[in-house]
Amino acid sequence: MANAGGKRDLRLDFFRGLALWFIFVDHIPGNQIAWVTLRNYGLSDATEVFVFISGYTSALVYSKILAQHGWPFAAAKVVHRCWTLYIAYLFLFVAFTAQVAYTARVFDNPLFSEELGIAAFFADPALSLTQALALKFRPANLDILPLYIVLLLSFPLALPLLRRWPLALLAGSVTLYAAARAFGWNLPTYPEGGEWFFNPFAWQLLFVLGSTFQRFPAASAALTRPRRLLRWGAAAYLLASLALVLSWHIASLGALMPHWLAEILYPISKTDLDPLRLAHFFALAYLVLQVARRDSAWLRWRVLRPVILCGQQSLQVFCLGIFLSFAGQTVLTQWSSSLFAQFCVTVAGIAAMVAAARVLTWYNSVGRPPRQPAPARGPSA
């Protein structure tokens, strides 16, 4: 994604690509390789990274279109992108449902359908498909894309506010977030009685925060400027979060948790984007941005190129990762769940995602006219 000067900010591609890798690994149940991902060491995970970057890049792209061509055209471009995402989601839904159903039948294992939430589809396919068209019926692991569609679909309303009254937009977003948590607002799902796993009324705050950070680059740079006190505070919070998360896996650590403190902290809801998760994301982002500057040389290392390519082809790589994660689950369930098998499944899946990103990058570049060098400026210029 290019900035105002036309130079692509590789940080956006890198961290988005890394989030896609983490999402793939985390979606394979029982995969011990997931211990290298973010979710096992703090309260936030790759979802926060993905949503924040999505808000940032949306503001970067559509604010420029708004300034050049006006609101109607910018809104049309947003709706067109939402339509593309919607078609991709419907294809993903149908293909993923077919993949799970076929696997369950071949291996005579109905647990696949139950675990991945498509059992209701076979009870009433017509109604389930209708509910899927309304984004209400979703198999497991398909929750992020509908969230992104809803958040982006509301973005045309936010664009004028982001340009003229960004602080008012942020205040409204905070108010909606607080009201959703206080009154339990969420969108319903099918079968009846369910709610969206990622509550859009809550997660919109992170999307708007990403947009606001892009709107005020000078303020963003000031907020992320190195300060010893903030560094120590962010590090302390990350360590406390690490201890809390480890207490969920280690019984001896869990026994040390005071009862009164547990009553204050829990539940730490991912659905409603708990403030503790939000604070963890920003503490982590602050420390990461100390070493991930726009001009950081390590972003151009060849070894990181595969991650960046996946970030540049995020939609296609995400959809592929959904299929690969279930394929990996099938291998581990039906053949071998050894640590070596988990490692091989993880490496093979990431390799397939990188290969797809390379092919897409090559295809998009073929036939594209080369950039013309900037005209030389004479003394009169």
Contacts of 86 (CB under 8 A, 6+ apart): 149
> pLDDT tens digits for the chain (381 residues)?
555 445 778 999 999 999 999 999 999 998 999 999 998 899 999 999 999 999 999 999 999 999 999 999 999 999 999 999 999 999 999 999 999 888 888 888 888 888 788 888 888 888 989 999 999 998 888 999 999 999 999 999 999 999 999 999 999 999 999 999 999 999 999 888 789 999 999 999 999 999 999 998 888 888 888 899 999 999 999 999 999 999 988 888 888 888 888 888 898 999 999 999 999 999 999 999 999 988 889 999 999 999 999 999 999 999 999 999 999 999 999 998 999 999 999 999 999 999 999 999 999 888 665 555 445 444 443
Considering the entire predicted model, what is its pTM?
Answer: 0.91
Cα-trace Rg, the chain: 22
pLDDT at 194: 87
pLDDT of residue 34: 92
b/e map 221-259, b = 16+ CB within 10 Å = eeebeeeeebeeebeebbeebeebbebeeeeeeeeeeee
- pLDDT for res 78: 96
- Burial group, residue 373, by CB count within 10 angstroms (0-12, 13-18, 19+): exposed
Instruction: Name 194's bridge partners.
Output: 189
Q: Cα separation of 220 and 368, whole Å?
A: 34
In the numeric block, the tokens 């993949």 are attached to: 99
Residue 189 carries which DSSP code? Answer: E
